[in-house]
Amino acid sequence: MSEVLALEEVGVGPVRGLSLALSSGQTARLTIASHDAKSALFALLAGHRTPEAGRVRLFGEELYALPDDARVPLYRRAGFVPEQGGLISNLKAWENLLLPAAFHQGLNADAVEARVVALWREADPDGADLRETMGKLPDRLTAFERRMVALLRALLPQPDLLVYDFLSSGLDAGSAARLYALTQRFHGEKPGRASVYLCADDAASAKLPADVTLRLG
Amino acid sequence: MAGFLSPERTGRSVLGIAWYAQGFFALLRYLATHLSALTVRPTRLVLFKQIYFTGIEALGAVSIIAVLTGIVITTQITSLVGVNATLTAKIMLWVVVRELGPLLTAIVIIARSSSAAASELAGMKIRGELDSLRQMGIEPMDYLIVPRIAGITLSVMAVTFYFQMLAIIAGIGFTALTHGIPFAGTLGSVVSLLTLGEVAASFFKTLVFGLVVSITSCYYGLRAPATTTAIPQAATAAVVRNLLTVFLLDGVITYAVFL
């Protein structure tokens, strides 16, 4: 098993002395009580916030020793699902969803449409007209729709690492359970894929099976 | 007056111009070395959208201004020198092709697109969308900046050409209707007077104006600090700097090429 993500005595914002080692195929669940700590940690993993202490290695590379433009190719192997979606405001939901897959792999809408529709219906069986949803700009989407777009956007390029940021936050128990079930299936779809869940201390998150579990104050 | 000319204020202005110049040439260099980003389909879509917003959507306003400019100029010429097809053609060429075409088109595009591009980029930066692109493995400069600079520059060049043609045809058409000057004869004079040097100088001017407008807009959008009040400030700064730079360069190019 090769190393996917390693944190060594990392200090970032309110998080202090955090260590974590995640190998290919493993799942980590980090239960975090503080929203500030969660935001700091997600920004650190996503490459936006330099740690005040410690080291971060992503796919074996010392992440924060690399200049910004050298980090970008490394992130082609990772998929992030931010709590607020992290969508591009001037792109419609469908364009957002397709962006990384179209950019890196040249995929077009026809190639992924059937899969996207099936996955969306699985997560939201009684949802609104998907065609209408896909034509909306991000500020017209509900919190659930934004998260679904972010989730499918992260999945389509088939990354080696998936990072979920408070995936169940603000959702009803049924929707949260369906989203978690989808992510667990994604995990097994590609051999060696690793998953990191940043979770609130809630019942849905507590049921997630994980190889590495940590609890941060 | 003392406050206006204070050393602190002067120093800040000089530093601002120096930072702007440095940022401008850094973006120009980035564009020159990363044009290959336009081969990626999503980036090409951004380019096409930019050409649509900056070029095609500006055609209505540009058409009205071009027609009125052509009519005003030919009316003034006729009132000053009387009915003279050759002189009308010469002055139309000098005024419209050399000066007003590039300048008025740049002003229209600055008013419409410069503030829009600067505020859009500033908003995206404030909302963390540049970081979102990086975490998708997409370099924001390649995806957002290269197609915007290329799109605005191409639009300025194409719309300027359209303005020049329309203003000349409208002006000559108007004098043909009102003073009976033969339309085809005057148009023929314009074409025969048009030299390759004239066309090259106009092309060069529009290329410079296009690069200035696009790069300045992107520069002020990208350098906005992460507060919402920075969005209108970025838009205003882009428009003001663009107007000053375009007028300054217009003078410099005219002096260097035509004197």
A51 in contact with chain B, both atoms CB, cutoff 8 A: no
**Residue A39 CA neighbour count, 13 Å, CB half:** 7
From chain B, pick out residues whose CB is under 8 angstroms from the CB of A78: 135, 137
Instruction: Summarize pLDDT for A122-170 with one digit per residue, the tens.
Output: 888 877 788 899 999 999 999 999 999 999 999 999 999 999 999 988 8
Per-residue pLDDT band at B8 (split at 50, 70, 90):
confident
By the CB < 8 Å criterion, does B41 face chain A? yes
**Whole-angstrom distance, CA of residue B136 vs CA of residue B141:** 13
B131/A73 Cβ within 8 A: no
Interface of B with A in 107-126 (CB under 8 A): 120, 123-124
Please report, rounded to a whole number, the percentage of residues in chain B having pLDDT higher than 70.
98
Q: How many domains does chain B have?
A: 1
Instruction: From chain A, pick out residues whose CB is under 8 angstroms from the CB of B129.
Output: 86, 88-89
Q: What is the pLDDT of residue B11?
A: 87
Q: Which long-range contacts (CB under 8 A, 24 or more apart) does A166-169 make?
A: A166/A38, A166/A83, A166/A198, A166/A199, A166/A200, A167/A81, A167/A83, A167/A197, A167/A199, A168/A199, A168/A200, A168/A202, A168/A204, A168/A205, A169/A83, A169/A200
**Which residues form the domain of B98?**
38-258
- Give pLDDT tens digits for A22-44: 999 999 999 998 999 999 999 99
Question: What mean pLDDT, rounded, does chain B reach?
Answer: 92
Q: Which residue of A has its CA nearest to B138?
A: A72
In a domain, residue B48? The reply is yes
Q: What pLDDT does B4 receive?
A: 65
For residue B258, the one-letter residue type is F
Average pLDDT over residues A46-54: 93
User: Is A110 an 8 Å CB contact of chain B?
Assistant: no
The reply to whether B56 falls in a domain is yes
CATH number for the domain spanning A157: value is 3.40.50.300
Q: pLDDT-derived band of residue B136, with 50, 70 and 90 as boundaries?
A: very high
% of residues, chain A, pLDDT over 70: 100
Q: Please name the residue of chain A whose CA is at the shortest distance from the CA of residue B117.
A: A90
Q: pLDDT tens digits, residue range B211-252? A: 999 999 999 999 998 888 899 999 999 999 999 999 999 999
pLDDT at B3 over 80: no
Q: Is residue B5 part of a domain?
A: no
- Give the gap in angstroms from C-alpha B147 to the nearest C-alpha of chain A: 14
Highest-scoring range by mean pLDDT, A106-110, A164-168, B254-258: A164-168
- Of A18 and A202, the structure prediction assigns the larger pLDDT to A18
Maximal C-alpha separation, chain A: 48
Q: Does residue B1 carry a pLDDT above 60?
A: no
Q: Which residue of A has its CA nearest to B43?
A: A103
Residue A105 CB coordination number (10 Å): 13
Q: What is the pLDDT of residues B49-105, one digit of tens each?
A: 999 999 999 999 999 999 999 999 999 988 888 888 888 888 888 899 989 999 999
Domain enclosing residue A205, as ranges: 3-216
Interval A37-60 mean pLDDT: 94
Is B198 touching A (CB cutoff 8 A)?
no
Any B CB within 8 A of A88 CB: yes
**Is A74 in the B-facing interface, judged by CB distances under 8 Å?**
yes
More confidently predicted of A91 and B195: A91
Average pLDDT in the B126-155 region? 95
Considering only CA atoms, which of A82, A184, A55, A135 is closest in space to residue B134?
A82
In the predicted structure, residue B2 carries a pLDDT above the cut 70: no
Range A67-86 average pLDDT: 90
B124 vs A99: CB contact, 8 Å cut-off? no
Is the pLDDT at B32 greater than 70? The verdict is yes
| Structural domain count, chain A | 1
Give the CA radius of gyration of chain A.
17
Average pLDDT, chain A: 91
Of A76, A78, A89, which is closest to B124 when you measure between CB atoms? A89
B259, amino acid identity: L
Lowest-pLDDT range of A181-195, B115-129, B188-202:
B188-202
Cβ-defined contact of A88 to B40 (cutoff 8 Å): no
